[in-house]
Amino acid sequence: MRSFSNIYNPELAVRVLKRLQDSGYTCELCMVGPDTGDGSFQATQKLSSDLDVALRFTGKLPKSEWLALATHYNVFINTTNFDNMPVSVIEAMALGLPVVSTNVGGLPYLITHGETGLLAPSDDALAFEVAVVQLVSDIDRTHIMTERARAMVEGFDWDVVKGLWFAVLVES
């Protein structure tokens, strides 16, 4: 659920899918987002073909369509090489999807490993595979994690944030 760009390392998601399928898991990957023109979209398509994994590319979707689409998936992976506080991760948490993300930039401030999601080293397909398997193998723990993540991001709702801003401004 983000634009294709080399800094987001979309090819890692394809390599994770391949590892999971090679390990015997029946799974699919859907990538939602527009092509930014830096070649990452085409490289991801080519890698998908070279590794012979079935991938669904939707392009950019209106919010209502990707919200509906998200209900058909079980895990959100964020493969970025660099990021601060990605809205896509916050939205996935709000939707109740368990999140596996790279441990880069501001992401460890958003995701507490093992509490609100799982963090993996950047560009490490094996670590992502292990994390995804952990999520699907321990459904009870994953459910608790997604509940915590959902509760946390509810604090990012505008009505909550607006109230906090008013409190700060009134005290000033």
Token pair in block for residue 87:
């809205």
User: b vs e for 91-124, b when ≥16 Cβ sit within 10 Å of the residue's Cβ?
Assistant: bbbbbebbbbbbebbebeebbeeeebbbbbebeb
Interacting residues of 106 by C-beta distance below 8 A, sequence separation 6+: 83, 84, 85
Q: pLDDT tens per residue, the chain (172 residues)?
A: 889 999 999 999 999 999 999 999 999 999 999 999 999 999 999 999 999 998 999 999 999 999 999 999 999 999 999 999 999 999 999 999 999 999 999 999 999 999 999 999 999 999 999 999 999 999 999 999 999 999 999 999 999 999 999 899 987 6
Cα separation, 140 vs 92, in Å, equals 19
Spatial contact of 78 and 137, defined as CB atoms under 8 Å apart: no
- Domains in the chain (CATH in brackets) are 6-63+73-158 (3.40.50.2000)
